[in-house]
Amino acid sequence: MSPAKKKNSDAYLRMYRQMARIRAFEDNANQLYLSAKMPGLTHMYSGQEAVAVGICEALQTTDHITSTHRGHGHCVAKGAEFKPMFCELLGKEEGYCRGKGGSMHIADQTNGNLGANAIVGGSAGIATGAALSARQLGTDAVTVCFFGDGALGQGVLYEVMNMAALWKLPIIYACENNLYGEYTKVEEMAAGALCARAQAFGIDAFEVDGQDVLAVNKLTQDLVAKCRAGQGPFFVQLNTYRYHGHHVGDINRTYYRSKEEEADWRDNRDPITNFGAWLTQEKLVSPDELDAIRDEIAKDAKAAVDYALAAPYPAISEVDMHVYAHSA
C-alpha cells in the first residue's frame, strides 16, 4: 500500500470505527431504556452516523460544534469517550456533566462540543456566537451547528444566519433532514426548498447524501478550509434517516411512516453496512477485520455500561452546586 493510500485507509477505518461506535452506543442506550435502567428517555441517532462522523472527521479538536436533543452521535464523533457518556445518561457523578445534564444536555468542552440542546433550534445562537467569538479572539476555529429539519421552523435560526452572512463568520449550518420533525413529515412543515432558506441570505448551500460518509467528509473538508480562509458561512442539507422513533418510547409509529419505508433505509441505505462493503471491495480491509472492529467496540460499550451502572450518583450536596460560577 502506498503511503498516500495508507493515510487514506487509516482515515477511512477511523470513520468506520466512529460510525460503529455511535451505533453501539445507541444500541446500548436503547437497551438501558427498555430494561428500565435509565432515568427519563432519549433520542436515538442510529441511521444518521455518516452525518456526524463525516463532518467531525473534518474538524480539529479546537473547532466547535453544537448539538441537538438527538445528540449522542455528535458527541461520540467529536471525540467523547463511552464511560463518561453512559455515566451521564444514567445521572452519575462521573458523567460529562456530573449527571446534571443527561442525554439531552451532554457537553464535552475538552473536545469542543458546546452541548446538546433540548430546545429545537436552541443552539443556533450559541453556535453562531462561537463563530463570532473566533473572529473576535483571532483564532482559526470553525463551528458546526447541527440541527434537524424541525429547527427550520424556528425564527432564531434565520436571525443568526443573517448575521453570520453579514459578518462572514466561520460557521457551517448542518441541517440533518431525517424526514420527520417529531411525528410529522418535513414536507408538511417546511415550505419551499430547504437550501433556498440559506441562499436567501447569500449563503452558499449544498445538498449531500447523508448516508455517504465520504461524500459528507469531502464536502465538509472543503467548507472548513473555506471558513478558515474567511469565506464562511455555509449551509449543508444532509439527507438522512432516523431508524428509531422520535424518542425511544415512540414504538407504534405506522400512523406517520410505514414499516416498508423504514426497512428500505435499513436494508439498502445503511451508512455503516454500505461503507464497510465499499472498504472491502476496495480491498482496504477484510470483512474479518471489520467484524473484529465491531466486536471490540461492542466489548468496550458493554464494559462502559457495566461501569456506569455501578458508578455512584452525585453526592446530595451537589444539588445546588454549579448554579453560579465563581467570580474573581
Partner 1 sequence: MRKITLSQAVNEAIAEEMRRDETVFLMGEDVAEAGTPFKVLSGLVEEFGTGRIIDTPISEPGFVGMAVGAAMTGSRPIVDLMFGDFLFLVMDQLCNQAAKTHYMSGGKLNVPMVLRTNLGATRRSAAQHSQSLHALVAHIPGLKVALPSSAYEAKGLMKTAIRDNNPVVIFEDKLMYQDKAEVPEDEYLIEFGKANILRQGSDVTLVATSSMVQVAVKAAEILADEGISAEVIDPRTIVPLDEETILASVRKTSRAIVIDEGHQSYGITAEIASRIAEKAFYYLDAPVLRMGAMDVPVPFSPALEDLTVPTAKGVADRARAIVRGDKANAA
Question: Using CB under 8 A as the criterion, which residues of the chain lie in contact with partner 1 when the complex forms?
Answer: 64, 66, 95-101, 105, 107, 109, 114-115, 117, 119, 122-134, 136-137, 141, 143, 155-156, 159-160, 162-163, 166, 321-328
Question: CB of 154: closest distance to partner 1 in angstroms?
Answer: 9
Separation between Cα atoms, residue 236 and residue 103, nearest integer Å: 25
Closest Cα partner for 73 from 12, 1, 137, 146? 146
Q: Which is nearer to partner 1, 251 or 323 (CB)?
A: 323
Question: CB of 110: closest distance to partner 1 in angstroms?
Answer: 8
Q: Which is nearer to partner 1, 123 or 220 (CB)?
A: 123
Closest Cα partner for 54 from 18, 25, 82, 5? 18
Q: Which is nearer to partner 1, 316 or 325 (CB)?
A: 325
Question: CB of 300: closest distance to partner 1 in angstroms?
Answer: 23
Residues sharing a CB contact under 8 Å with residue 310, sequence separation 6 or more, in sequence order: none
Beta-carbon count within 10 A of 259 CB: 9
Question: CB of 24: closest distance to partner 1 in angstroms?
Answer: 25
Beta-carbon count within 10 A of 277 CB: 13
Q: Which is nearer to partner 1, 115 or 271 (CB)?
A: 115
Q: Which is nearer to partner 1, 219 or 227 (CB)?
A: 227
Q: How far apart are the first and last CA of the chain?
A: 56
Question: CB of 209: closest distance to partner 1 in angstroms?
Answer: 29
233 prior amide bond cis, ω within 30: yes
